[in-house]
Amino acid sequence: MRFIEEVVVEEFLPTLRSMLAEELRERGLTQSEVAELLGISQSAVSKYVHGEVARNERLLADERVVDLVERLGDGLTDGEMSPVQALVEAEVVIRQLEQGDVLAQIHQNEVPELADYDGAFDVHDPDSDVRVAEQALASVRRGLTVIENTTDFARHIPAVGTNLVEALPDATSIEDVVAVPGRIIDLKGRPEIPAEPEFGVSEYVASVLLTARDHGSDARAAMNVRYDPTLVDALESSGHAAVEFDAESGIDDAIPTALAANPDADVLYQTGGFGIEPVIYVLGPDAPTVAGRLRDSR
């Protein structure tokens, strides 16, 4: 785990300080004066000026960093800029470079997993794509833990397998939905989760969730389990609204029709058809809640 702040401290600051120390010395300031303005020791100034500190070549050549050094050099030399103001100006540039820019790219080189997000995010943004996506993945993992810890869960797994899915807030396709690759199966009486959850690996359960969301449901998560009328009754007794849909009509037609009949439904079920296994879909705000609803209604 390597934070972008480490990139700032280890790559940006030595580069900026060395460039600024050179700039101020070229403007006639003494090492002592430079040290006071930058809040560092004279020996550190000497190392910066004499090239004894490693510098990042990408930052050295970045026009915004070069412009910042020139502005700080002007302001600090003529006294029109205080060290505090210089600090603020530097912080502004740092934040700009962190937002899908050169610092984010350097960070990505240090943490290759960030490449999945193309570096186009602000790591400090609480609503950034990377944070929202990681939260969805973590949520499904927590839901899977509930399943693994639910006694006799395997008997609820249909022949086609079970999946637990959670969509991003603005999901429009299965690529925006986290699920278990290959589905959860009954392996000798226990649920077998074949792999870590990923985006874009569920077609059917994700499609049910997306279709429900497209027709008024505010659910973010869903799970399919074996149809059992006593389970439907138990879910309804727990305060959930259940509605039946026609298994042979297809998701695109059946789910909208069912939700039109009961817009508040968070349990959708069908009792089977020719070559179609009966199944229940439990919807909810997140994966752990959905898994918990099944656990608490058995």
Q: Nearest-CA neighbor of 81 among 94, 70, 65?
A: 70
Is residue 274 domain-resident? yes
Is residue 195 domain-resident? yes
Domain that holds residue 147: 129-293
CB atoms inside a 10 Å sphere around CB 189: 9
Q: Are residues 137 and 272 in the same domain?
A: yes
Is residue 121 domain-resident? no
- Residue 58, CA atoms < 13 Å, CB-side half-sphere: 12
Q: Are residues 134 and 105 in the same domain?
A: no
Q: Are residues 164 and 72 in the same domain?
A: no
pLDDT value at residue 175 = 95
Q: Which two tokens stand for residue 79?
A: 């006294």
- Residue 7, CA atoms < 13 Å, CB-side half-sphere: 22
- Count of structural domains within the chain: 2
Say how far apart CA 40 and CA 220 lie, in whole Å.
52
Q: Are residues 174 and 98 in the same domain?
A: no
pLDDT value at residue 125 = 61
pLDDT value at residue 134 = 82
| Single-letter amino acid code for the residue at 16 | L
| Single-letter amino acid code for the residue at 240 | H
pLDDT value at residue 264 = 94
Q: Are residues 108 and 136 in the same domain?
A: no
Question: Which regions of the chain are under pLDDT 70?
Answer: 1, 115-128, 298
Q: Is 164 left (phi over 0), alpha (psi -120 to 50) or beta?
A: beta
pLDDT value at residue 51 = 87
